[in-house]
Amino acid sequence: MNVHLLHPDRDLDLEVVLPQHAGTVSDDLGLEVLLDRMAEGDERVRTACRTVLLAGLEDARAVRYRQAVVADVLRAPEVFAGLYEVIVAGLELAKRSYSGLFRDAPDALVRRAVERLQVSTDVLRRLRQDSAPVRSDLRSEGVTRLFELFATQLDEPYLREVEAQLEELTFPRGVLFAARLGRGAVGTGFELKRPRPQGWLSRSLDRSGASFELADRDDEGIESLGRLRDQALAEVAVVLSQASDDIEVFLRQLRDELAVLTGVARLHAALTAKGEPTCLPEVVSAPTPKLTARGLYDPALSLQLAEQVVGNDLDADDALLVLITGANQGGKSTLLRSIGTAQLLLQAGLFVPAATFVGSVGGQIYTHFGREEDEQLRRGKLEEELDRMRTIVDRIRPGDLLLANESFAATNEREGSELARQVFRAHLDLGIRVVVVTHLYDLAESLYRTESARGVFLRAQREEDGERTFRIEPGAPLPTSYGQDLYRRIFGESPSGTAAAEDPSQGARRAPHPQGGA
């Protein structure tokens, strides 16, 4: 019996080794905020969700399989949450019958395995019973197959038979075994037998048997009988321990996969409650990356704010480069994070934070976020940035995605621009998708000139009065940032009293590229 809720052909592996950069990606995208909401204090849910988010699926087929399961879960979230609770409680109960001892006598092993199996049997029955009412409403391959399994493999007659056998294994009629004579006429080849159903009475009347009883306080004899029992039970003890382990392995697997789905349902509920849109993205298989979104937002940001956040539209199909420039605090980083998070969620087979989203499955996602505010550590920070970038370059492969946020802003514009230019051009030439947020005009301007064929250029907008809208629209880079806006707002006047520069990119264009990819 396999769970296979999250993968068409295998179980979810929580032991999977996440890429080394996963922690950085998680920090840079603010995934902990999402995980907090998914976990609601349940560490198991957090861990499972974190793994699923950071270990993306391999292809569109796997993504669609999981999307269908997620859709089913969102149809009846209370059923899945209920199954999860039942299993968690059952496994907790079964754990009490574990022994702290490494090795145990078969007699004790059998007793504990039977106790564990009795608990597991109750859980299995609940799985079947609780899934039955919604079975016909659900459509995904993963859920349908699993619930079908519950109905056919955990049917009542089977569970009754299991319970009868467990009762037999408490040996109300004594332990009966066959044996042969081994070396030195010591019993060997022990085979545990099921006593005849008519009970010991008829058997004891059988004249071929011969009995004796131990004398009172024959401790040595009692020990000897214990050894015999242990020999007789050795094999069934292993079979039972294995059976209880097997079932618990199945239950733990199911629990872990349900933990993910429970977390996903919770996140969905939280976003929906705020009125934020979500959708299961349309996944396109194409030779060039696809990225078209409406109302794309950063869910981590949204969950931290009382109000709804501003979504952005994005048309970046076939673009290897997405370059975002514009006003400080104008939502550039937020858009970058939105793109990264959406891509991560898409590749995890989950819903994305957008009203509509068409995308494709890419490779690994890398983040390189500079922190320009750290002026005092400028020199060391550049080296640290370069070091991080070298680590990325060592690992990144064609088809991967690099999210660069103010990279190399730790040095002067000329130097930073040149460093970044070299790095990003090389990435693009390798077929690596790069989304760049930068205020380095030198960099932005040169990329705008040379990479228009494979790039999309966006700019954080401001209203005529200088108010930021947090909307980011297509637009060429501008030679100045909007620091003076901030200055003005905070100081109540512009620096040096000059008016804001005129915007030369009115009517900004989407970078032209060959039609139909020709």
Partner 1 sequence: MPATTEEPSEAVASLLWPCVRDGAGAQGQPLSDEAAHDLQLAPLFDALSRDAPWLRPWYATPCTDVEVVAYRQQIATELEREEVAAPLATFARRLQRVRQREEAVQRVTYPYVAAAWFLAAAQRYLHATTELLEELEALTLESPGLRGCRSALRSIVTGDRFRDLATATGAAQEAMEGVVYTVRVQTDRVTVDRDHGEADLTAEVAATFARFRTGPPRPVDRPPVEPGVDHVAARILELVAGQHPEAFAALTELHQHHQPLLDPTVAALAREVPFYLAYHERLQRIRAAGLPLCLPELVDQDAPCGAEDSYDLAVALKQLADGNPVVPNDWHLDPPERVLVVTGANQGGKTTFARAFGQLHHLASLGLPVPARRARVGLHDRVLTHFERQERITTLRGKLQDELVRVHALLEEATPGTVAVLNETFSSTTLQDARELGSAVLQRIAALGARAVFVTFVDELTAVGPATVSMVATVAPDDPTVRTFRVVRRPPDGLAHAVALAERYGLTDEAIRQRSTS
Of 137 and 168, CB closest to partner 1: 168
Amino acid sitting at position 109: L
HSE of 61 in the Cβ direction (CA atoms, 13 Å)? 2
Contact 504, 489 (CB under 8 A): no
Q: Which of 90, 106, 455, 477 binds partner 1 (CB under 8 A)?
A: 106
Contact 464, 447 (CB under 8 A): no
Q: In whole angstroms, give the CA distance from residue 365 to residue 29.
A: 11
Assess 247 for contact with partner 1 (CB under 8 A). yes
Least separation in angstroms between residue 119's CB and partner 1 is 14
Of 253 and 341, CB closest to partner 1: 253
Least separation in angstroms between residue 261's CB and partner 1 is 21
Return the DSSP state at 482: S
Of 169 and 259, CB closest to partner 1: 169
Q: In whole angstroms, give the CA distance from residue 85 to residue 78.
A: 10
Least separation in angstroms between residue 17's CB and partner 1 is 21
Least separation in angstroms between residue 104's CB and partner 1 is 10
Assess 243 for contact with partner 1 (CB under 8 A). yes
Q: Which of 27, 59, 148, 246 binds partner 1 (CB under 8 A)?
A: 246
Q: Is the C-alpha dihedral spanning 278, 280, 282, 286 positive or negative?
A: positive
Binding string, 445-484, against partner 1, x = CB under 8 A? ----------------------------------------
Least separation in angstroms between residue 145's CB and partner 1 is 15
Ranges within 153-182 binding partner 1 (CB under 8 A) = 153, 161-162, 165, 168-169, 173-182
Of 153 and 304, CB closest to partner 1: 153
Q: Is 450 left (phi over 0), alpha (psi -120 to 50) or beta?
A: alpha
Q: Is the C-alpha dihedral spanning 241, 247, 251, 253 positive or negative?
A: positive
Q: What is the DSSP string of 83-125?
A: HHHHHHHHHHHHHTT--SSSS--HHHHHHHHHHHHHHHHHHHH
Residue in this structure with the two tokens 């880079």, named with its chain if needed: 477
Least separation in angstroms between residue 76's CB and partner 1 is 26
Of 74 and 109, CB closest to partner 1: 109
Number of residues that bind partner 1 (CB under 8 A): 69
Least separation in angstroms between residue 170's CB and partner 1 is 12
Assess 121 for contact with partner 1 (CB under 8 A). no
Least separation in angstroms between residue 199's CB and partner 1 is 12
Of 255 and 439, CB closest to partner 1: 255
Residue in this structure with the two tokens 């059952």, named with its chain if needed: 90
Of 134 and 179, CB closest to partner 1: 179
H/E stretch holding 410: none
Least separation in angstroms between residue 250's CB and partner 1 is 6
Strand ranges, E, within 399-485 = 401-405, 433-437, 455-462, 468-474
H/E stretch holding 369: strand 365-369
Which among 56-64, 247-255, 325-333, 417-425 is the span making contact with partner 1, rule CB under 8 A? 247-255
Ranges within 180-239 binding partner 1 (CB under 8 A) = 180-188, 191-196, 200, 203-204, 206, 208-214, 218, 220-225, 227-232, 234-236, 238-239
Backbone angles phi, psi at 324, to 5 degrees: -115, 120
Determine how β-strand 401-405 pairs with β-strand 365-369. Answer: parallel
Residue in this structure with the two tokens 């990356």, named with its chain if needed: 289
Of 246 and 374, CB closest to partner 1: 246
Q: Which of 80, 250, 366, 470 binds partner 1 (CB under 8 A)?
A: 250
Contact 168, 194 (CB under 8 A): yes
Of 474, 481, 469, 460, residue with least CA distance to 510: 474
Of 5 and 74, CB closest to partner 1: 5
What does the buried/exposed string (b/e) look like for 189-206 if buried means 16 or more CB atoms within 10 Å of the residue's CB?
A: ebebeeeeeeeeeeeeee
Least separation in angstroms between residue 49's CB and partner 1 is 25
Contact 325, 458 (CB under 8 A): yes
Of 2 and 494, CB closest to partner 1: 2
Least separation in angstroms between residue 81's CB and partner 1 is 24
Q: Which residues bind partner 1 (CB under 8 A)?
A: 1-2, 105-106, 153, 161-162, 165, 168-169, 173-188, 191-196, 200, 203-204, 206, 208-214, 218, 220-225, 227-232, 234-236, 238-243, 246-247, 249-250
